[in-house]
Structure 1
Amino acid sequence: MTEQPPAAEVTLLRRGRSARIAWLCLGLVLVGIGFIGVFIPLLPTTDFLILALPCFARSSPRLELWLLRHPRFGPALVAWRERGAVPRHAKLASWLGMAVGFGLFCWAVRPSWVLALIVAAILVGCATWVLRRPS
């Protein structure tokens, strides 16, 4: 009697090799951009790592587990995966970033009031979505 491979491995075996490689490459690019965001202000880190998780789930359970167990980013990724939660400090940072971004947009572009209103409405919608996420 042979031992059965874990379910994650069986699922990966069913996928084509080229699809797994594509998901792996996309996940690695997203992690790379996320880690660059650690050093560059206003470039989000956690957002790119959240996007990398499903890529690794489809290509490399080992890398997915590495991200989930990462001492700095793992807790936020687990909270997002389990509850869709956004920490309060991240909510505040996103609201501040949207406000500063809108201010810079108005200052640099000097849009018509219609365009400014459209952009403001989109940002208010995004801010509302962030507000409604659990903390």
Structure 2
Amino acid sequence: MRILWLIGGLLALAFGLVGVVLPLLPTVPFLLLAAFCFARSSERLHNWLLAHKSFGPMIEDWQRSGAIRPSAKRAATLSIAVVFGVSLVLGVKTTVLAIQAVVLSAVLFFIWTRPNG
């Protein structure tokens, strides 16, 4: 069973790292999932992730109080605005834009109602 948790953690970590550069793929939820999986499979990887200079504090903030740092909130908001702006420029259908607006607004609402880390 540990090998499955390890594979899940590695996949989540990979998606989280891709999410650092792709605006539509979230980083933190995948890092939280990776930490969860590593806690059940690899103490070494779990400790590495928690001690990571960039990722560790975000994970600890979330685990401690469900908090998201203001800088992460701003980065997420900017990414969402850019993605929606690109959709507008590309002339995406109105129904798709409406769905995108509702979903992205819900994401922003969730992010901005979390405590600051």
Q: Which category of TM-score, normalised to the shorter sequence, fits these structures?
A: 0.7 to 0.9
Partner deviation per Cα, 1:68-115 (whole Å, 9 max, x = no partner): 122332111111111111110110111111111111112224312x33
One-letter identity of the residue aligned with 2:74: L
One-letter identity of the residue aligned with 2:56: G
Q: Detail structure 1 runs of 4+ shifted over 6 Å in the superposition.
A: none
Segment of structure 1 superposing worse, 95-104 or 54-63:
54-63
TM-score by length of 2: 0.82
Correspondent of 1:83 among 41, 60, 65:
65
Q: Among the aligned pairs, what percent are the same residue?
A: 41
TM-score by length of 1: 0.73
Q: CA RMSD in A?
A: 2.0
Correspondent of 1:130 among 101, 111, 117:
111
2:96 maps to what in 1? 115
Gaps of 5+ in 1: 1-18
Instruction: Count residues in correspondence.
Output: 115
Select the structure with the greater relative contact order (CA < 8 A; seq sep ≥ 6): 2
Gaps of 5+ in 2: none
1:98 maps to what in 2? 80
1:58 maps to what in 2? 40
1:13 maps to what in 2? none
- Change beyond 3 A, Cα 1:129–1:73: same
1:71 maps to what in 2? 53
